[in-house]
Structure 1
Amino acid sequence: MNTTTQRAIVLVLVAALMAVTRLHLPTSITHFGPVPDASWAAFFIGGFYLRQWSRWAFPAMMALAVLVDYIVISGHGINFWTHYCVSPAYWFLVPAYFALWAGGSLVRRFRTASHGRTLAMLVGSLVVSVALCHLLSQGSFYWMSASAVPDPTFAGWWKNYTDWFVPYLRVSAIYVGLAVIAHVGVEQIVRLAKPHGRTTR
């Protein structure tokens, strides 16, 4: 993904994936039941493919996430700014999502010719990124959203963190795994489409 066109295609695909799944479309539209939100994976994948565009691509993705939230909340006839999710903790999503973006960027920066090492790096980076994102997003909401958690305690926070960590990691890993499969598939197609270095006579 070194050309502007390739990066633009990835940006559109990742943004569309996040927007569609974050909208929480009803089953009558999707026909597949509730589709898990791919936002966390989208930022990780974006960090990998769009590392050189981070200065503006990350803010653009962040703005899209907020816009989708606004559409969803307003669509239910609720004032966006008074919704319980939009507390001061809501803005911790910026560093939380950047942790995911940075995780993907690190994999891109330090990947090697060894597919095994790169895969191990990807797995480790994804786990750490999701853990940090969850810490920032869940932790800020737990401690700063008095309407949702009127009597916060450390034990209550830890239970909430551990209860939700594996589900968030599982969903992110599924989407990232699908992206890896697509990446390998495209690489194979491109390799097969290239003319052989030696022609027969």
Structure 2
Amino acid sequence: MTTKPYTQIAIFVLLALLMLSTRYAHFAQLPDASWAVFFAGGFYFRGRGGLAVFAALMLEAVAIDAAVIHYLGVSNFCVTAAYPFLVPTHGALWLAGAWTRRHYRWDASSALQFALAAVIAVHLAYAISNASFYWLGGRYAQPNVGEYLQRFVRYYPHFMEVTLGYLAILGVLHLAAASQLPQLRPAGAAPRSA
């Protein structure tokens, strides 16, 4: 899959807009699509250009968080000493997207690999972000394993459902676009017949 520069710019803009339109709300209105954006970014962008896109999306995420805290009065509860762990959190999602791209074959096994990579990536991302927030964030007076596990289980389904939901939508949109745009298909793959 070799995308043309204008296609890459369009994909970047769409992913950035998706994050911008959802990140500020987190649990209200549209759920936060950031994790799906980073997974998709890893799928669509590679090499040095991919690193630049990852950095740009990270800067966007931080800028959105700063803006909504400073200008919209959103709570800064999640901004702690653990905040830098968003880099490996988003990095895990990005790498899973990149792995998915390398194994993308435009067939049913690709869909299964996509789903499996997404589940594993979300699980790993959640483990990184949740553990760093709980154990290093300083928001809990006496952190302990029991409370940590309760909180892990309480919030885990939300992050899994939201991210997988967005990725399912993005996957369907990708397949629809790839049926019309050969650059979104692996090299040599023929369009699917309806």
Picking from 85, 93, 116, the partner of 1:100 is: 93
Please give the alpha-carbon distance, in whole angstroms, between the structure 1 residues aligned to 2:168 and 2:88. Answer: 24
TM-score (norm 2): 0.86
Partner AA of 1:120 in structure 2: L
Q: Which has the higher contact order (CA 8 A, sep 6+)?
A: 2
Which structure has the greater CA radius of gyration? 1
Q: 1:162 matched to which residue of 2?
A: 153
TM-score (norm 1): 0.83
Q: 1:181 matched to which residue of 2?
A: 172
Question: 1:116, CA displacement in angstroms?
Answer: 1.3
Query: Can you list the C-alpha shifts for 1:49-72, whole angstroms capped at 9, x where unaligned?
Result: 112422211011000000000000
Q: Is 1:91 the equivalent of 2:84?
A: yes
Q: 2:143 matched to which residue of 1?
A: 152
1:11-50 maps to which residues of 2 (within 5 A)?
11-24=12-25, 34-50=29-45
Partner AA of 1:49 in structure 2: Y
Q: 2:103 matched to which residue of 1?
A: 110
Please give the alpha-carbon distance, in whole angstroms, between the structure 2 residues aligned to 1:186 and 1:2. Answer: 12
Query: Can you list the C-alpha shifts for 1:10-50, whole angstroms capped at 9, x where unaligned?
Result: 0010011001101229xxxxxxx711110010000111011
Gaps of 5+ in 2: 183-194
Identity %: 31
Asked if the contact 1:18/1:39 (under 8 Å) is kept, the reply is yes
Which stretches of structure 1, 4 residues or longer, exceed 6 Å deviation after superposition?
none
Query: Match of 1:88, SS?
Result: coil
Question: 1:190, CA displacement in angstroms?
Answer: 4.2
* Count of residues paired in the alignment: 179
Please give the alpha-carbon distance, in whole angstroms, between the structure 1 residues aligned to 2:86 and 2:113. Answer: 24
Q: 1:138 matched to which residue of 2?
A: 130
Partner AA of 1:122 in structure 2: F
Gaps of 5+ in 1: 26-32, 192-201
| C-alpha RMSD of matched pairs (Å) | 1.9
Partner AA of 2:112 in structure 1: A
Q: Is 1:62 the equivalent of 2:58?
A: yes
Query: Can you list the C-alpha shifts for 1:53-102, whole angstroms capped at 9, x where unaligned?
Result: 22211011000000000000001458x9xx33221100100000000011
Partner AA of 1:140 in structure 2: S
Please give the alpha-carbon distance, in whole angstroms, between the structure 1 residues aligned to 2:65 and 2:168. Answer: 26
